[in-house]
Structure 1
Amino acid sequence: MVEAVMLWNEPNNLSHWDRDLDPDWARFARMARLAGEAVRAEAPALTRVLGGISPIDPAFFQLLARHGALGAVDAVAVHGFPLDWNHWQLDEWPARLEEARRAVALPVWISEVGVSTFGAEEVQEFGLRRTAELLAGKAPRVHWYSLFDLPRAWPATTRHREAEGSSYYRHFYMGLVREDGRPKRALRLFPEYAPALGICQWFHFEDPRLDAGVRWLQELGVRKLRTGLSWADSFRPGAEAWFDRQMKALEPFDVTVTFCFTPEHLGLRPHHTSPPVEPERFAEFCARMTRRYA
């Protein structure tokens, strides 16, 4: 069921890691190293992937290497959204991937790549086709983000929310399927590129879209799926039952499960992006989830 674990998500992005509390990422590196070692102790053959970075920054990989973090993972990952947020062109993807490869002596995954329908569905349709031409088979894993649009009533995991203007609202239009369940134009193309392209789909706590998501993924021919289990959610009532239900439903797929999000009561600051006071607690969570599901 679980073919890989990913340690955190976008650690060089303020949306997921508070660098004001960890300006040289030494705390993050120690946390990742402890977590990687804990996972290896539970499942020696399981692939450990450093959380995908966004933006793509080879110097960030080199910084983590100096802190010793890359010795506890088997691969690293990058995220790219050149038609929505990045300051580079879509056709630059191969060059961006190559510069990441030159920075590390590890395989480089593409754990999120996608195009929003904020402006027009035709843009996503073009973006999917061109992305597949550029990247399919060029990395050990390529995960398209995402299957579902983010419901408008839910907040996006980002830095300054509405203050970001249209950049914030693009988060809600990244799916191949609309919030009301209707398919978008690009969805009909996806089976042409599966299983070479996987999908990244985050399922929130007790997400009502889980069963529909499994049906869509199977219909699209998806084999490789990236999702997450939230360390913060693990303290909610009923968390274990929800995690069991989610992971049972995803058994048909080769799952990369991402461990992320600091519980507020365990952070240096009460926020999910905060470094934990005790990074060993995150390592314990990773070990427990690995033991239970991998």
Structure 2
Amino acid sequence: MIEAVKIWNEPNNKSHWDPIIDPEWDLFAAMTRLAGTAIKEANPDITRVLGGMSPIDPHFVRRLADKGAMEHVDVVAVHGFPLDWNLWMIDEWPAKIDEIRRVTDKPIWVTECGVSSFGSEEVQAWGVKKTAELLIGRAPRIHWYSLYDLPRAWEATTRHKEAEGSSYYRHFSMGLLREDGSPKPALEAYRPYAADMGLCQWFHFQDHRLDDAVRLMDELGVRHLRTGLSWADSFRDGALDWFDRQMEALDRFDTTVTFCFTPEHRGIEPHHTSAPQVAEEFAEFCAEMVARYAPRRADARIAERRSLRYDR
């Protein structure tokens, strides 16, 4: 069900990793080493991806390399939103990838790129086409963020909420579809690129949009999907049932799954951006999810033979 796993999401972004707790990323590097090792032991064929950088920062890659973390990932991922949050022009996408290519010999994936329709749906549609032209052929994986707008009743994962002004509200308008599922002009702009530029869609716990999303992605011809399984959600009642349903529904896609979000009761501070009290616990979660949804081929064949025998 899984072709790759990402270790965390945007670890150099304050909205996803608390720099007060871990100002030099020593704890993050140690957690990455443990998680990367655990994932490889669970399935050596799975591609391990370093959580997408935002901002794109070659110094961050060097810092993690100095701490031994880069030896435990196979791919470096970057995120970019030049029309909304980044301080660079959309035409600089190739140059931003080259910045990272100069400091690592690992493949570089763009696991989030997007344009908000907050200011103009027409600008968003233009941004889809422009981003595709700039990135297709330059990165082995590209994931447009996202399929759906974030529902207004939910909360965006960011630092200062409404104090960020329009920067906060742009989070809610990144989809090709509006909150009610109606299409924006960006949907048709995206359609010709669906086979080469995948999607990133986070599904919340018991997300009511899952089945509709799968049907539409099938119809568009999407091949590559990025989503997430939340370590924090794993402590909810019925978590495995939801994870099973989500991953079974997404089985038809080449899926990259991000493992992230610290459970409040397991963080150094009670927050999802906190470094965990015990990094080995996050590594165990990664290994358990890989063993469940992407077992190594030999294990999968054994399970299949057992199933056939019992069916008889």
Name the TM-score, length of structure 2 as normaliser.
0.94
Residue in 1 aligned with 2:274? 274
Deviation sequence 1:224-278 (CA, Å, 0-9, x none):
0000000000000000000000000001100000000000000000000000010
Deviation sequence 1:5-58 (CA, Å, 0-9, x none):
000000000110001000100000000110000000010011000000000010
Note the 1:1-294 alignment, pairs <5 A.
1-294=1-294
- Distance in 2, matches of 1:219 and 1:184, equals 16
- Distance in 2, matches of 1:44 and 1:193, equals 31
Shift of 1:188: 1.0
Percent identical among aligned pairs is 67
1:30 maps to a residue whose letter is A
Q: Which runs of 5+ in 2 are unaligned?
A: 295-312
- Distance in 1, matches of 2:142 and 2:259, equals 19
Aligned residues: 294
Q: Secondary structure at the match of 2:258?
A: strand
Q: Secondary structure at the match of 2:99?
A: helix
Q: Secondary structure at the match of 1:51?
A: strand
- Distance in 2, matches of 1:189 and 1:20, equals 41
2:186 maps to a residue whose letter is A
Name the TM-score, length of structure 1 as normaliser.
0.99
2:47 maps to a residue whose letter is T
- Distance in 2, matches of 1:244 and 1:210, equals 12
Q: Which runs of 5+ in 1 are unaligned?
A: none
Shift of 1:191: 2.0
1:119 maps to a residue whose letter is G
- Distance in 2, matches of 1:63 and 1:105, equals 15
- Distance in 1, matches of 2:174 and 2:33, equals 32
Runs of 4+ in 1 over 2 A off after TM superposition: none
Shift of 1:189: 2.1
Q: Secondary structure at the match of 2:280?
A: helix
Deviation sequence 1:170-217 (CA, Å, 0-9, x none):
000000000011000010122211211000000000000000110111
- Distance in 2, matches of 1:161 and 1:88, equals 23
1:131 maps to a residue whose letter is T
1:159 maps to a residue whose letter is R
Q: Is the 8 A contact 2:126 2:189 kept in 1?
A: no
Pairwise CA RMSD of aligned residues? 0.5
Q: Is the 8 A contact 2:143 2:197 kept in 1?
A: yes
- Distance in 2, matches of 1:169 and 1:23, equals 28
- Distance in 2, matches of 1:165 and 1:246, equals 33
Using the TM superposition, name which of 185-194 and 73-82 deviates more: 185-194
1:95 maps to a residue whose letter is A
- Distance in 2, matches of 1:182 and 1:198, equals 20
- Distance in 1, matches of 2:66 and 2:213, equals 40
Q: Secondary structure at the match of 2:259?
A: strand
Q: Is the 8 A contact 2:228 2:258 kept in 1?
A: yes
